Amino acid sequence: MKIYNLLSALLQYPTKTMQRDVREALQLLEQDTLLHKKTRQKVKHLVDHISETSLLDLQIKYVELFDSTPSLSLHLFEHVHGDDSARGQAMADLKGVYSEAGLEMKAGETPDYLPLFLEYMAAISIESAQESLKEIVDLLEVIHQRLNRRETPYAIVLLALVELSKLKPNSKKVQDALKLSDGSLPNLEEIDKMWEEEPAFNGAANSAACPHANTCQKGVSS
């Protein structure tokens, strides 16, 4: 289950400590039996990229991808609820799930932050983690394809998560979401339009919209 810790670290904002830690964590990847060999090799390439690229370049690219492009946000409920009032209840529900698992959140973190969710995956059983990933596999695949279109090595982390779910994403839902946004860096006019539209995974797709859907269902469907 330590593979989830490595995938979590790879998606966090780059720092010198992070660059060192992901390099040291390579042994976790070599010991992993959950991912296919080809996927493990691509994850290793991302580790090499992060550890060998200048920190400033990494930080600039990270912000451009995950902070400046709403459709690539690592805050999962932004794709589900947007600014909907139900988001607050869903946050509270998911925070409760983490507390039950003994996972402590740092100041300023939100429960729907994907790297934090992956730390939770590492703290539960393989079977429970797989079930939780199944619930958001369509969203993970959409973000993966958007990252792939940006030609960034970060895409492999999302592909690895889809692989770990052991569930094939719903191609229609994925294509519908990609029609709304292909992951390109938006201009100001496009950003305004995005906030006016319904989130791609809102409403009916409860099981694919929320980490640990049984706990968060109330927040998603409200």
The predicted-structure confidence for 111-164, as pLDDT tens digits, reads as follows 999 999 999 999 999 999 999 999 999 999 999 999 999 999 999 999 999 999
Residue 40 has pLDDT above 50, yes or no: yes
Expressed as residue numbers, the domain containing 186 is 2-221
Q: How many residues does the chain have?
A: 222
Q: What is the domain count for the chain?
A: 1
Within 10 angstroms of residue 14's Cβ, the number of other Cβ atoms is 22
Give the pLDDT of residue 193. Answer: 58
Helix (H) or strand (E) holding 26, with range, is: helix 26-31
Q: What is the residue whose two structure tokens read 């989130």?
A: 199
Question: CA dist 201 to 47, 110, 117, 124, 138, Å?
Answer: 30, 19, 18, 25, 9
Going by C-beta distance under 8 Å and a sequence separation of 6 or more, which residues neighbour residue 32? 2, 3, 40
The CA–CA distances, whole Å, from 91 to 84, 113, 117 equal 12, 10, 12
Q: Is the whole-model pTM more than 0.85?
A: no
